[in-house]
Structure 1
Amino acid sequence: MIDNRFIEKLFVVLLLGLFLQCQCQELQKIMIPKITNEFEKITIQNSKKKDDDRCIETPEGRKEIFSASEGGYILSIYYENAFYKSDKFYYKNGYIKNKSLSFNMGSPVGMLYYFDKSGKLIKEENTDEGYSFTPEKVVKYCEKNKIDLPKGYHDSGYQARVLKQVFEGKKVWRISHQTAGDKIEEIILDGKTGEELEKKVVRL
């Protein structure tokens, strides 16, 4: 005869396993890269001697887009299973100028770090101020409303876009996505509450 306590323990173990699996899936779905306020110098792989735009694929499944600008160099790192990318700007001497994460290939999220030409950290800016409705909540809103947000790097085709903007004096999220043909739906969400402030259809 099977002990009832054994069945109860087995049931608890199964529930725990299911919970951990769901948590793991959720973390994979909303994977957020790490970025720190530490000094960096541009790597040999993306040598500052190279002035051509390049896309480098890494063994870890990242794509690194390197380009030269008038004031220095830009390195954008896209992660295959993430709604986020890292944006790093460098001075001509190869030292880091500023760096942050961007959500959905658009606006900065989290902390934005600034450095002087000697590599000293001079400023930290919290770009999430006024945005209680977090990027993770934007992702859930899009999932609920059948809006397909892109992950990783895409070099062609129209992709859904999410930007931080100001609308009628409020900090907002502006979501643009293709609905059919050349029609684009634009949705504005309150940055604090997530309330829909406007929804309209425009053309490409």
Structure 2
Amino acid sequence: MITREFEQFDIGKYQVQQHNESHVTLPDGTSIVQSGNRETGFIVNTTPPKPSFFVVYKYYYGNGNIREKAVVLGEDTYVGKSYQFDEQGKLTKETNEDAAFGKFSYNDVLHYLHQQKMINIHTGENRDRLHLKFNNIDGKKTWEADIEINGFNNLYVLDGETGKVLKKANHIPIRIVE
């Protein structure tokens, strides 16, 4: 999905398309959202077609050079390898994000949620409703999965080593109305 190779954001093409944000859906269903400016930098989020549950995040400096790229699952969890670059485009850090996880991997979490009929790994159903977070607090590794379905949030907390269900709850999400 991503490589350690240098990349550059095409600022000129982006400025022609739109000034603040650009959203394109390719014929295969891939969604590409671009936003940013020369002052704060640019962001490109690429969501492959279903059934993929992953999103590729790429952050660029204001000069268009790549700053960081990573594969993200459930909006919060970096998976696979991530890469960071300096402003000149030199690779400064390569991180194996999977090394932090326990024996119960993110793929195991996806399969568990599929068995619970919260998501469908074959069709991508509910991928946009899945928030997945990995925690490592004092050596205790856990996965928190929160899926909003039919107006309820379904929360699962799973042991990161064994996959044992530590908590399962349904609640109505809090909505802030202004």
TM over 0.5: yes
Larger Rg: 1
RMSD: 2.7
Q: What is the distance in 1 between the residues matched to 2:11 and 2:62?
A: 14
Structure 2 counterparts to residues 125-204 of structure 1, below 5 A: 125-131=95-101, 132-148=103-119, 151=124, 159-166=129-136, 170-181=140-151, 183-204=152-173
Which amino acid in 2 is paired with 1:78? T
Aligned pair count reads 167
Identity of aligned residues (%): 29
Give unpaired runs (5+ residues) of structure 2.
174-178
Normalising by structure 2, report the TM-score: 0.80
Distance across 2 between alignment mates of 1:45 and 1:36: 24
- Answer 1 or 2: which has greater strand percent: 2
Structure 1: state its 5+ residue gaps.
Answer: 1-33
**Per the alignment, in what secondary structure is the counterpart of residue 87 of structure 1?**
strand
2:176 corresponds to which residue? Answer: none
1:97 — aligned with what? Answer: 67
Shift of 1:190: 1.7
Choose between structure 1 and 2: higher helix proportion.
1
**Counterpart residue number, 2:85:** 115
The change in CA–CA distance for 1:186 and 1:114 in structure 2 (over 3 A counts) is same
The 8 Å contact of residues 63 and 153 in structure 1, kept in 2 or not, is answered as no
Shift of 1:138: 1.3
Question: Which residues of 2 match residues 49-68 of structure 1 at below 5 A?
Answer: 50-68=18-36
